[in-house]
Amino acid sequence: MDLGLNGKVVLVTGASKGIGLACAKAFLAEGAKVAMVSRSKVNLAAAERQLKPAGQQVVKVAADLVDSANARRMVAEVEQALGPIDILVNSAGAAKRTPPEDLTPEAWHAAMDAKYFTYVYAIDAVIKGMAARKRGVIVNVIGSGGKIASPSHLPGGAANAALMLVTAGLANAYGKYGIRVAAVNPGATLTDRLKQGMEADAKVAGISPEEALKRATGRVPLGRLAEPEEIANAVVFLASEKASYITGAVVAMDGAANPIVV
């Protein structure tokens, strides 16, 4: 199936690992020009070696998106190298999981910085240019913690819930400019970040991280956790011409672990 992504300029934040890296790889496979963003130059270099882009255009930008100025710089560098950004995929930032008895005001603030503002600053840096060009797609990789309140993921879940509202609200506000905004809500996914999450869940439940992972897997009707590539496949579809009437939607991707109506 031709998804109409050949030659599109795609900016992926959090692209050096996990779901973000899987997204970068999937867009390259569709013939897109990809810009990879991460805080670490070392991680970006390692990620590029994994991608093996075979002559395709890949741009690497090191930027900490907690700072809005870095987000604007990121977009300027990408557009200078590749041209106007057609698609933004937000996958940077993850709020640290913290047992409720260990929460502090600083932990709540850090979660919003790590997850909410990294997405909002990136969106703000691209969406006005997209509006001027009357085209563009933004896909936010958020997380099911915004729908289901986990005791070990309250600050991060709050950030996720806020990002779902941002997704729906911006889709409504910018649809008249030809811009689509959508999101996916992964459940537990087999990435490096999963280990830290399992450690926090284990502390809350008084069990080992291995047992926490076993229980998390057992709650999924499909009988397994998601692979990053499976999340990336949905992101690529939402960004494509085949999803031309999907906007304001938040797609649950937790293997039906939380059977709720959305």
CB atoms inside a 10 Å sphere around CB 244? 10
* pLDDT, tens digit (0-9, with 9 covering 90-100), for 164-183: 999 999 999 999 999 999 99
What is residue 152's predicted lDDT score, i.e. its pLDDT? 80
CA angle 175, 177, 178 (to 5 degrees): 70
d(CA 139, CA 111): 20
What is residue 53's predicted lDDT score, i.e. its pLDDT? 58
- In the chain the first and final C-alpha atoms are separated, in Å, by 28
What is residue 128's predicted lDDT score, i.e. its pLDDT? 97
> Among 167, 108, 115, 116, which residue's Cα sits nearest to residue 137?
167
What is residue 41's predicted lDDT score, i.e. its pLDDT? 93
> Among 100, 257, 69, 93, which residue's Cα sits nearest to residue 159?
93
Instruction: List, in sequence order, every beta strand (DSSP E) within 21-148.
Output: 33-38, 58-62, 87-90, 136-141
* pLDDT, tens digit (0-9, with 9 covering 90-100), for 45-79: 999 888 865 556 789 999 999 999 999 999 999 99
d(CA 3, CA 1): 6
**Domain spanning 9-253 has what CATH number?**
3.40.50.720
What is residue 108's predicted lDDT score, i.e. its pLDDT? 93
The domain ranges of the chain are: 9-253
**Residue with structure tokens 């090191």?**
62
Query: pLDDT 10s digit of each residue in the chain, 262 long?
Result: 789 999 999 999 999 999 999 999 999 999 999 999 999 999 999 998 888 655 567 899 999 999 999 999 999 999 999 999 999 999 987 778 788 888 999 999 999 999 999 999 999 999 999 999 999 999 999 998 888 888 888 999 999 999 999 999 999 999 999 999 999 999 988 887 777 777 777 777 888 888 888 888 988 999 999 999 999 999 999 999 999 999 999 999 999 988 877 6
